[in-house]
Amino acid sequence: MSRALSLLDFELTVLDDRPNLPTLEANDAAHHRRVISYDNVAAEIPRARTSTWW
């Protein structure tokens, strides 16, 4: 799914709580890969930017 979303010009961040997960490093379509505690996952989600194009 990361590859497909990357081709559609999404900026991807993969978050996982398992530091030795080989698929985390192998996911080369993701722009960012981070090992975090799922207890803090809400803090990792950026707030929406407000559009001012209109």
Give the pLDDT band of residue 20 (cuts 50, 70, 90).
Answer: confident
Check pLDDT > 60 for residue 49.
yes
The answer to whether 25 and 36 have CB atoms below 8 angstroms apart is no
Residue-wise pLDDT for 34-48, tens only, equals: 999 999 899 988 877
Query: pTM higher than 0.85, yes or no?
Result: no
pLDDT number for residue 23: 81
Contacts 24+ apart (CB under 8 A), 3-7: 3/29, 5/29, 6/30, 6/31
The per-residue pLDDT for 53 is 60
Domain boundaries, the chain: 2-44
